Amino acid sequence: MTKKPAARSETKPISQLGYEECRDELIEVVRILEQGGLDLDASLKLWERGEELARRCEEHLAGARKRVEDALASRQDGDD
C-alpha cells in the first residue's frame, strides 16, 4: 500500500502554496518516489508535481532573496 502526498495541498493550486507548504509536500513526494512501488504513470505524475513544487520553492526563495537585497541596498543608501 502506497501513501499519497498530503491531500491538503492537492486541493490548492501550487501557485497559491506558501514556501513551507511547497517544501513539505516536496519532501513527501521525494519520500514516496524513493520508497517505490508505484506504477509508471503514477510515478511520472508524482514526479511532475514534484518538479512544479520545486520550481515554486525556487520562486519563493528568489523573492525572499530580492527582498533582502533591496533592504540591504536601501540601508546602504541611507548611510551615505
Residue 7 lies in a domain: no
Output the pLDDT for position 6.
47
Domain housing 69: 18-79
Q: CATH number of the domain that 73 lies in?
A: 1.10.287
- Cα-atom radius of gyration of the chain, to the nearest Å? 17
Residue 5 domain-assigned (yes or no): no
CA distance 43 to 68: 37
Tell me which long-range contacts 60-67 makes (C-beta under 8 A, separation of at least 24). Answer: 60/18, 60/19, 60/22, 61/19, 64/19
CA separation for the pair 1, 77 (Å, rounded): 58
Q: Where residue 7 falls among pLDDT bands split at 50, 70, 90? A: very low
Output the pLDDT for position 2: 47
Looking at residue 80, its pLDDT comes to 62
pLDDT tens digits along 30-43: 999 999 999 999 99
